[in-house]
Structure 1
Amino acid sequence: MGKEIVIGAVPVVVAFLVFIGVNVAPFIIAALILSFLFFFVTKQGGMSMAQKRTTVDVPKTTVKFNEIGGQERAKKELKEALDFLIHKDSLKEYGIRPLKGLLLTGPPGTGKTLMAKAAANYTNSAFVAASGSQFVEMYVGVGAQRVRDLFKEAKQKAEKNNQDTAIIFIDEIDVLGGKREGSQHREYDQTLNQLLTEMDGITTSEHPRVLMVAATNRADMLDDALLRPGRFDRQIVVDLPDMKARKQILEIHTKNKPLAADVDIEAVARDTFNFSGAQLESVTNEAAIYAFREESKEITNRHFSHAIDKVMMGEQTDRESTSEERERVANHELGHAIVSEVVRPDSVSQVSLRPRGQALGYVRQSPQQDRYLYTLENLEQQIMIALGGAVAEEMLYGGRSTGSRNDFEQALRLVNTIIDSGLSQLGIVKMDMVGKEALHEERQRILNELLDQTRAILRTYFPVFGHALNHLLREEVLNGDEFRVMLVEAQALPKKNNIEEIETHLMNA
């Protein structure tokens, strides 16, 4: 309030002084000078405070490579690069230049930061860490100053601890080192230029020697100047763990947990296909939390099953559906499960009617082996599984519901993959160069053929719906082994091979 009074009073006073004949020019000039000095001091103070936050105080790391599950190839590549720091004298015999920078790339939660910490422990190096977002600042030149301070601190820390090497780790480097757009001048362009200069200044003969390690989920967004040899010499992919690696990670995170005799770590690893290391750690922690809630002395297989569902789908919701909706959702999920088990035997781990996240029900699949290369048959099978829910609704209720929307999106995405991979009748094509009408006709052909095959499978195993539905509505969960028994029993029952018989069966039920 006082500030507004002063601002309002100043013009009045100036006008009064002018009115009585006083020369106010010296007062106005003095006021302008004082305002400029005040603004300059305030800005410098803000810059100095920002610059004080340049570095991050990181305690001595104790992480070791054998404490990181899986990633054997990535760890081997990283260790080889680190050995250049340790055995620097023997490199001269081969004329090898020690690497200046290592870039760890891969999805979130795969252990990139852990590997950087393990690298510092492996080489007994001073370790300084920062995040890419710490270098983005509104004040011009502050980001570049932070880069200089980061390298300076790494060297000082190594000298203070009598260490020969120092490792600088920058996480999320894509924030700092993104592609530069033409001649547009931006503050973080200066920051990136300073980082490039500092990396060029790393020499193999200096003491202490500095190794730059960075991590990103989006290597494609980095500037080309940053990725050239002599800066980041080696890119190491830290990918999602495979079956063997998932088992190792789970064993590491369950060492200090009381597991029941029925817990099969290999089965848990199989059920967590495409999980990252962070998600696997969360599964073991959530399983322990479920056991704690029930005051159970041991963590059972049921706790792990609940934990996998929670990490995969989210927390169970209190959403209450009508009996008609529950029955429709149950039959929808059974349609997915039947097709999945027929085209990929032993793939169904669980059918659930418990709502989690946005899903009213779901089928959890556990592939017998990790797959990274897909044939036309594999893709068609996955499309049929996605269509199974909608086809089941058509057969049982005469129409579909909005619950099939995500299934159709997945099916269309897979159809586009078939066409784009040259596996369709269009042959090897580039989708941008094919007419929309031709693409639409090919998509419809593929979907119609697979819809017919899906209907044939569900007709053959139609008795499973009636048998499994009662169990699913009552228990809300149907595990894979129980479901497979029902499929075997259904083969011995009379088959209803046409829609009329199916509708009659439903009306009588």
Structure 2
Amino acid sequence: MIRDVALGAAAGFLIYLFAMGYNIVPLLFIVGGAYFIWRVVIERGMVRSPGKGVVVSSTPVTFDDIGGQATAKKELQEGLDFLRHSDRMKELGIRPLKGILLLGPPGTGKTLLAKAAARYTNSAFLAVSGSEFVQMYAGVGAERVRSLFKRAREVARKEKKHSAIIFIDEMDILGGKRGSNISHHEYDQTLNQLLVEMDGLGSDQNPQILVIGATNRAEALDAALLRPGRFDRQVNVDLPDKEGRLAILQIHTKNKPLAEDVDLEQIAHETFGFSGAHLESLTNEAAIFALREKSKVIVQKHLREAVEKVMLGEKLDRRPTADELWRVAVHEGGHALLAETVKPNSVAQISIRSRGHALGFVRHYPDDDLYLYTQEMLEQQIMVALAGAVAEHMILGTRSTGNAGDYEHALSMVERILASGMSTLGIIDLSRLNDGQRQKITREILAELEQKTRVVLEEKKETLLAVAKILQEEETVSGDALREFLHKVA
């Protein structure tokens, strides 16, 4: 409305001058230029007003609402106590922390931890993405940084709080190593302004400001950000272990009706490598499956199917031909049979139903959150990966393009063997191996393990054919049903 009144007044003034005989052409250029700057620069975001793009919220999230991050929560709370008990800290001559950096993979709860930190310290909370600061126009990013800190103080005073937390997600965009964008110095100017603002955060300021940054690319951050006095603490927010996954599942199923047969501990065991975001999606998908079946409660079957959907995607309507289905059954039967041979009770389910990009799959019970693997364990994983291709060649005489993913997994395991000094080359620097040397040792390892896989499957050829026929008829077989069948034919 103000803009319309101003435009109307300007137009009226120009008409008046024209009627009086004045040359208004220069004024038209001036007015037109001013209007252009207003529309393009301000309204389209080349120079934003303070606080635009910043989310200000009073979040209800507490640390009790976050599962699976006990170590991260403890370390973060310890850092936040400097903000909560500032008077006690002053008595001991302790300066408050200026910044805390949350490091970890996507979906592990870094944003939730920042929100809980604001609730824990009773602070005003401002959240912004690192990409909000960087533009192609000189000085814009630096101005936004200044505006952000100014806005934080204003919000804290308005809410009558003694502190404010500024949460910057995608910290690697704003705080990337200076000089990495040679043709774009605006990045460096923006980071320099952030460093200046953090250096200016004194312990006697009121309100006190704490910056919490989050990134999954710590290696990309500028060293100046990580020194003491800026981001004083780095908190690792890792993927949850089994107990953590169970805690997260319990949190996300509080508002969902579960059947008596639901075993969340078993689901937590089967979801090794899942982040908190994956687990939240899992419980939501399980509820959707229950809704589709018009069930009033979520049963174990819904949760198991949700695990598969989160891992592999939705079932496909496309159905393979009879020949393709038989090949897939032989392939997956080879995987499952070898897995049960080298590591009994490891198969959770076998399926030849198309899901996502997979025509079939074997889902394994993961190891109990193992982070160290012996050479034998790695070789067993390679043999299981190769078993599908070996089974195809042994039964059908040819191999198919469906083995590509298995080969990629096998090659990654070979890389781990080489890097860990478990090959015949011993302890080596992988970067000093030329392509020829790497290919030679890789072929030797894979050829030896493929031969071992072939020997195992040749001995169990009749069993493999029987398992493939069962899969062709039923399409999905549980690990327990497979083991029961293998026990009968043994």
After TM superposition, the score normalised by the length of structure 2 is 0.90
Q: 2:118 aligns with which of 114, 117, 120?
A: 120
Does structure 1 residue 137 correspond to structure 2 residue 135? yes
Q: Does the residue aligned with 1:405 lie in a helix, a strand or coil? A: helix
1:55 shift after superposition: 4.6
Q: How does 1:255-334 map to 2 (within 5 A)?
A: 255-334=254-333
Query: 2:248 — aligned with what?
Result: 249
1:299 shift after superposition: 0.9
Query: 2:342 — aligned with what?
Result: 343
Q: Does the residue aligned with 2:57 lie in a helix, a strand or coil? A: coil
Q: Does the residue aligned with 1:422 lie in a helix, a strand or coil? A: coil
Does structure 1 residue 170 correspond to structure 2 residue 168? yes
Residue 55 of structure 1 contacts residue 146 of structure 1 at CA under 8 Å; is this kept in 2? no
1:247 shift after superposition: 0.5
Query: 1:43 — aligned with what?
Result: 37
Q: Please, what is the CA RMSD of the aligned residues?
A: 1.9
Gaps of 5+ in 2: 1-22
Query: 2:5 — aligned with what?
Result: none
Residue 346 of structure 1 contacts residue 368 of structure 1 at CA under 8 Å; is this kept in 2? no
1:313 shift after superposition: 0.4
Q: Does the residue aligned with 1:432 lie in a helix, a strand or coil? A: helix
Query: 1:376 — aligned with what?
Result: 375
1:126 shift after superposition: 0.6
Residue 100 of structure 2 contacts residue 213 of structure 2 at CA under 8 Å; is this kept in 1? yes
Deviation readout 1:79-130 (Å, 9 max, x if unpaired) = 0000111122222454332211011111111100000000000010010111
Q: Give the whole-Å Cα distance in 1 for the aligned partners of 2:294 and 2:208.
A: 53
Q: Give the whole-Å Cα distance in 1 for the aligned partners of 2:340 and 2:385.
A: 13
Residue 393 of structure 1 contacts residue 400 of structure 1 at CA under 8 Å; is this kept in 2? yes
Q: Does the residue aligned with 1:351 lie in a helix, a strand or coil? A: strand
Query: 1:108 — aligned with what?
Result: 106
Q: Give the whole-Å Cα distance in 2 for the aligned partners of 1:140 and 1:44.
A: 18
Q: Does the residue aligned with 1:58 lie in a helix, a strand or coil? A: strand
1:234 shift after superposition: 1.1
Compared CA separation, residues 233 and 418, structure 1 to 2 (3 A): same
Residue 54 of structure 1 contacts residue 134 of structure 1 at CA under 8 Å; is this kept in 2? no
Q: Give the whole-Å Cα distance in 2 for the aligned partners of 1:206 and 1:462.
A: 76
Residue 55 of structure 2 contacts residue 128 of structure 2 at CA under 8 Å; is this kept in 1? no
Q: Does the residue aligned with 1:299 lie in a helix, a strand or coil? A: coil
Q: Give the whole-Å Cα distance in 2 for the aligned partners of 1:289 and 1:437.
A: 52
1:474 shift after superposition: 2.2
Q: Which amino acid aligns with 1:408?
A: Y
Query: 1:78 — aligned with what?
Result: 76
Q: Give the whole-Å Cα distance in 2 for the aligned partners of 1:261 and 1:76.
A: 34
- Is the deviation greater in 56-65 or in 176-185? 176-185
1:431 shift after superposition: 2.0
1:463 shift after superposition: 3.1
The 4+ residue runs of structure 1 with deviation greater than 4 A are: 30-37, 182-185
Instruction: Answer with 1 or 2: which has the greater Rg.
Output: 1
Q: Which amino acid aligns with 1:284?
A: T
Does structure 1 residue 359 correspond to structure 2 residue 358? yes
Compared CA separation, residues 379 and 33, structure 1 to 2 (3 A): farther
1:447 shift after superposition: 0.9
Residue 420 of structure 1 contacts residue 431 of structure 1 at CA under 8 Å; is this kept in 2? yes
Query: 1:461 — aligned with what?
Result: 460
1:249 shift after superposition: 0.4
Q: Which amino acid aligns with 2:129?
A: S
1:37 shift after superposition: 6.2
Q: Give the whole-Å Cα distance in 2 for the aligned partners of 1:188 and 1:41.
A: 29
Number of residue pairs the alignment of both structures matches: 463
Deviation readout 1:242-287 (Å, 9 max, x if unpaired) = 1110011001111111111221101111111101101101110000
Query: 1:496 — aligned with what?
Result: none
After TM superposition, the score normalised by the length of structure 1 is 0.87
Q: 1:60 aligns with which of 42, 58, 61?
A: 58
Compared CA separation, residues 164 and 436, structure 1 to 2 (3 A): same
Query: 1:452 — aligned with what?
Result: 451
Residue 118 of structure 2 contacts residue 124 of structure 2 at CA under 8 Å; is this kept in 1? yes
Q: Give the whole-Å Cα distance in 2 for the aligned partners of 1:370 and 1:181.
A: 40
Deviation readout 1:179-230 (Å, 9 max, x if unpaired) = 2226644222222111111111111111111000011111111122222221
Q: Give the whole-Å Cα distance in 2 for the aligned partners of 1:32 and 1:331.
A: 83
